[in-house]
Amino acid sequence: MRAQSSATTATTIAVSTRTADPAAPADRRSGTLQAALGVTAFSLTFPATAWGLEGFGPWSLVAVRSVLAAVVAGGCLLAVGVPPRERGRAWGRIPVPDRRHWAGLAVVAAGVVLGFPLLTTLALRTSTTAHAAVVVGLLPLTTALLSALRIGNRPSRTFWTAALAGAAAVVAFTVQQSGGALTAADLYLFAALLVCAAGYTEGGRLARVMPGWQVIGWALVLCLPLSVPAAAIALSHEPVRLTAHSVAGLLWVAAGSQFLGLVVWYRGMAAIGVPRASQLQLAQPLLTLVWSVLLLGEHLTVAAPLTAAAVLVCIAVTQRARG
């Protein structure tokens, strides 16, 4: 999971998410791999957030992670070169996005940079990572639905059947793990589901016209006027206890989840399409549960391997289905 070069070819960037059918098999394989790397990075977000909450308050954790991620993204925007003909309108050495793209970047910022991290962090104060994983189980279907409305994607019936089956399997598993009780944390989780799906959809659309890493990079920079004062206020009001876990959790959600994971995720969506990429996220709750066992000491039931097998079948079907 490394930040990708701005030398992404025009063919990869401009692949249409309307059909989600790349021009070459190599593009599709590369896009699938990058989206899968993004899902792997995202699967560590909830355990890392739980670690971060051991030493930071929820508002401090979210604000500081946004600032740190923006510093990384801003450094990349400054360091990576652009063609000489574009340097006249560059911020540092990267061309500033056209004005028509700023509304979309604002949606990405509101959904992915601010909304989802804040809402899920607030939920994880009282919810386990297993219970929080239900929002990730529903995210692929919600993203595909918003994509159909926003971009005009029309996946096939086979695609929708497999997507619904996979989502149902993940929801049944995660709800069973959490006992099926609806709490105040669920309100945060369902709200996070909606704003994140909107951010993914808009980010996938923008990744057709600019490199995916620049999409999240500009979204993070756009949030700096809010995240810097928010971090200062939150740190002055919430206690901070620096431990190995809290620092490691903060660094991962800032660099891994907030920037590098989104870099490969948006590039993957640009290559294989929003609906297909979103279905790879069906595996994310199960990966999160694995990390929860390894990192947090949580326990899984025998339903885990059965659900994993069902999800993998659904992913295979959605990847082969034609829109």
Query: What is the tens place of the pLDDT at every residue in 42-67?
Result: 999 999 999 999 999 999 999 999 99
pLDDT classification of 86: cutoffs 50, 70, 90:
very low
At residue 44, the pLDDT reads 94
Tell me, what DSSP letter sits at residue 55?
A: T
- Own/partner contacts of 313-316, CB < 8 Å, gap of 24 or more, are 314/162, 314/163, 314/165, 314/166, 314/169, 314/279, 314/282, 315/166, 315/279, 315/280, 315/282, 315/283
Average pLDDT over residues 294-299: 85
* 3-state DSSP assignment of residue 188: helix
Q: Model confidence over 14-33: pLDDT tens digits?
A: 333 333 444 467 778 888 89
pTM, two decimals, is 0.77
Give the up-direction half-sphere exposure of residue 285: CA atoms within 13 A in the CB hemisphere.
Answer: 33
User: Amino acid identity of 129?
Assistant: T
At residue 17, the pLDDT reads 38
Q: Which residues lie closer than 8 Å to 232 by C-beta, 6 or more apart?
A: none
Separation in Å, CA 279 to CA 47, 98, 166, 269, 274? 22, 30, 8, 11, 9
Other Cβ atoms closer than 10 A to 141: 24
Select the more confidently predicted residue: 2 or 275: 275
Select the more confidently predicted residue: 299 or 86: 299
At residue 146, the pLDDT reads 83
By C-alpha distance, which of 112, 155, 164, 160 is closest to 311?
164
At residue 240, the pLDDT reads 94
At residue 307, the pLDDT reads 83
Q: Model confidence over 204-221: pLDDT tens digits?
A: 788 888 887 888 889 999
